[in-house]
């Protein structure tokens, strides 16, 4: 009789263990959040406009129960000014290549989307919202919780300033709610034209030594950027386009660290995360996330680390990528 009970006790224990393992495996394999780059991924450089196909694809992902998030080198004010996420819902933002990351309040986003506020766009550009006490758009950080905020050390900023002044380089300074330049050059105007952006105000750069700055964008040649990086050991420069501009951030802070901060906030495992990108500053995040997808128009370095390569952005690439992820979830769910 004792052995009989022991037998069924073992069966019970094995059943419980199996169910635990089954649940963990099921959780491990499902993609719960997708991080999207913007330029070249959601918005084509060629047209500067978000396609209806891309808008529908992002909605499809959300309707499938997947959190949609942004991972960009852009400032959230740029996203607002240039209407870079028109008609799309995003609940979390890795901005400034991981220097400034936040998660929106879900109820606030639900309310905004129900009122179609994600389609609203005001034509005037805002480069300074530091005095605003109310959110200026649904994805204003005031509507959420900041999960990572890393400023550049003042001594590193001073070094960059001195070099830019010495060689008459333009540089953009990006604070939490303010974007400005030290001077306007033809090279800066070319960079802004390439990304279809507007010209920020020129301000006294001495404020950069007193107020937190989260990203610098020096405009210079690749050769000069290499020399600059040697002079600011506490920072790193990331080239994100074929042009003359570089993202300068604190060393070790990237889209990857920003993604990790948001995953920690949600309690989501890295294996449950997908990322979609096209540029040099997307390589690490595609390699880091559980599922990395490169656009058909991506740099070769992106494609080399990707788990899947979708079609070109102009050939409904995002729609294909979302279908792949949803099918990925359904396939693994079916197998289990």
168 and 273, same domain (yes or no): no
How distant, in Å, are the alpha carbons of 14, 25, 55 from that of 11?
Answer: 5, 21, 50
169 and 145, same domain (yes or no): no
Q: Is the pLDDT of residue 244 over 80?
A: no
The CATH number linked to 211 is: 3.30.1240.10
What is the structure's pLDDT at 191? 87
Cα–Cα dist 213/233, whole Å: 17
Cα–Cα dist 47/87, whole Å: 16
Percent helix / strand / coil, the chain, rounded to 5: 45, 20, 35
Which structural domain range is residue 281 located in? Answer: 29-150+254-335
**What is the mean predicted confidence (pLDDT) over 160-175?**
95
What is the structure's pLDDT at 27? 45
**17 lies in some domain:** no
**20 lies in some domain:** no
Supply the angle between the helices 222-231 and 154-167 in degrees, to the nearest 10.
Answer: 140
Give the closest residue to 119 by CA, choosing from 205, 52, 183, 57.
52
Q: Is the pLDDT of residue 241 over 90?
A: no
Q: Of the given ranges (10-14, 81-85, 208-212, 315-319), which has the lowest mean pLDDT?
A: 10-14
62 and 169, same domain (yes or no): no
Work out the angle at residue 87's Cα, subtended by the Cα atoms of residues 85 and 92, and round it to the nearest 5 degrees. Answer: 50
What is the enclosing helix (H) or strand (E) of 218?
strand 215-219
45 and 71, same domain (yes or no): yes
pLDDT band at 103 (very low <50, low <70, confident <90, very high): very high
**Residue ending a domain, choose from 250, 277, 301:** 250
**Residue ending a domain, choose from 200, 227, 250:** 250
- Residue-wise pLDDT for 281-298, tens only, equals 899 999 999 999 999 999
139 and 288, same domain (yes or no): yes
259 and 132, same domain (yes or no): yes
Please name the residue that has the structure tokens 């070094």: 159
* Angular region, 55: left φ>0, alpha ψ -120 to 50, beta rest: alpha
146 and 113, same domain (yes or no): yes
The CATH number linked to 116 is: 3.40.50.1000
pLDDT band at 336 (very low <50, low <70, confident <90, very high): very low
**13 lies in some domain:** no
Cα–Cα dist 285/263, whole Å: 13
Q: How many other C-beta atoms are found inside a 10 Å radius of the C-beta of residue 20? A: 10
241 and 140, same domain (yes or no): no
What is the structure's pLDDT at 273? 97
162 and 295, same domain (yes or no): no
92 and 236, same domain (yes or no): no
**296 lies in some domain:** yes
Cα–Cα dist 266/258, whole Å: 13
CB 129 within 8 A of CB 177: yes
162 and 230, same domain (yes or no): yes
CB 173 within 8 A of CB 179: yes
Give the closest residue to 74 by CA, choosing from 40, 47, 106.
40
**11 lies in some domain:** no
134 and 229, same domain (yes or no): no
- What's the number of domains the chain is made of? 2
Q: Is the pLDDT of residue 23 over 90?
A: no
- Residue-wise pLDDT for 104-161, tens only, equals 999 999 999 999 998 887 778 999 999 998 999 999 999 999 999 999 999 999 999 9
**146 lies in some domain:** yes
**18 lies in some domain:** no
**What is the mean predicted confidence (pLDDT) over 320-333?**
92
**Residue ending a domain, choose from 207, 231, 250:** 250
Cα–Cα dist 198/94, whole Å: 22
Q: Is the pLDDT of residue 20 over 80?
A: no
**123 lies in some domain:** yes
What is the structure's pLDDT at 178? 98
Cα–Cα dist 143/58, whole Å: 21
pLDDT band at 8 (very low <50, low <70, confident <90, very high): low
Burial tier of 236 (Cβ tally within 10 Å: 0-12, 13-18, 19+):
middle
- Residue-wise pLDDT for 187-213, tens only, equals 999 888 887 788 999 999 999 999 999
Q: In this structure, what token pair is assigned to residue 223? A: 């050769």
């Amino acid at each position: 009789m004792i052995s009989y009970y022991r037998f069924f006790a073992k069966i019970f224990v094995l059943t419980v263990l199996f169910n635990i393992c089954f649940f963990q495996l099921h959780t491990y394999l499902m993609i719960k959040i997708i991080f999207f780059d913007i330029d070249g991924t959601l918005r084509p450089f060629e047209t500067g406009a978000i396609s209806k196909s891309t808008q529908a694809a992002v909605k499809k992902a959300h309707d499938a129960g997947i959190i949609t998030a942004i991972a960009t080198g852009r400032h959230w004010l740029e996203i607002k000014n240039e209407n870079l996420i028109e008609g799309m819902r995003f609940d979390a933002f890795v901005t400034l290549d991981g220097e400034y990351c936040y998660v929106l309040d879900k109820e606030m986003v639900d309310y905004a989307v129900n009122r179609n506020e994600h389609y609203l766009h005001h034509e005037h550009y805002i480069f300074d919202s530091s005095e605003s006490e109310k959110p200026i758009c649904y994805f204003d950080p005031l509507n959420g919780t900041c999960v990572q905020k890393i400023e550049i050390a003042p001594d590193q900023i001073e070094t960059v300033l001195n070099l830019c002044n010495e060689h008459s380089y333009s540089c953009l300074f990006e604070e939490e709610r303010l974007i400005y330049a030290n001077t306007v050059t033809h090279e800066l105007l070319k960079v802004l034209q390439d990304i279809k952006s507007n010209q920020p105000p020129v301000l006294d750069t001495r404020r950069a030594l007193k107020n937190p700055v989260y990203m610098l964008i020096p405009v210079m040649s690749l050769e000069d950027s290499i020399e600059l990086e040697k002079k600011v050991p506490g920072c790193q420069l990331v080239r994100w386009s074929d042009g003359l501009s570089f993202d300068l951030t604190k060393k070790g802070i990237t889209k990857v660290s920003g993604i990790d901060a948001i995953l920690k906030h949600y309690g989501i495992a890295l294996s449950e995360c997908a990322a979609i990108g096209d540029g040099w500053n997307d390589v690490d995040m595609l390699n880091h996330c559980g599922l990395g997808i490169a656009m058909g128009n991506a740099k070769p370095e992106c494609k080399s680390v990707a788990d899947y390569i979708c079609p070109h952005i102009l050939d409904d690439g995002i729609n294909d990528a979302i279908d792949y992820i949803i099918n990925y979830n359904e396939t693994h769910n079916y197998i289990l």
